[in-house]
A and B are shown apart, each in its own frame.
Chain A
């Protein structure tokens, strides 16, 4: 079946502009996650959605970052007034949430964001 998809694959924007990144999770996965990976670094958690529960926003670095998940499926990560330090690869993942299961996260290919 289809994996996690993300769009666009690459985004170049100017400092101060807003950007929207899209994630389409695996069908049936109730949990959706956003991570950020700066060049040569590990992944940094941003936000997590699970079903109808309030999202865990504890990783969002500033109030310029927001995300929503509509209808329990597609998610959009929005970065307002982009800064050069926002340049990174933004990775989306999804998983099942089952008692006793690994619930491993399946990752999309990422969106490479470059802020000039």
Chain B
């Protein structure tokens, strides 16, 4: 069963506007972590933001924030004031508890920022 779902294969956003990238997940483990990574065309994976399942507040890191709705099992990434350099693939990933720190990734969303 697919545990991380990103339903937007591609998204466009106008420079300086905000954009939301969707991510839903499925787990029966009460302890888990959610990550967002950015992959530019150069190929490297860049960690953006983390949300723990027990965190009371939504995570924020600069222009990135995570809209965490636990009951709906969604962890959407919000990028504010988009910049041309934000054009990249974005992956949502989940780490379950149980001692293994492996990540399960979604299929990604390609974001293109228009000038």
Contact = CB atoms under 8 A, between A and B. Distances in A.
Interface of A: 31, 33, 35, 41-45, 48, 50, 56, 59, 89, 91, 93, 95, 97, 102-107, 109-110
Interface residues of B, number: 20
A42 B45 contact: no
Given A42-B91, A42-B107, A104-B35, A48 B47 contact: no
Contacts, number: 54
B50 interface: yes
Given A42-B91, A91-B45, A110-B43, A56 B50 contact: no
Contacts of B107: 41-42
B101 interface: yes
Given A107-B45, A109-B43, A110-B43, A97 B103 contact: no
B85 to A, nearest CB: 19
B106 A102 contact: no
Interface string B8-38: 0000000000000000000000000101010
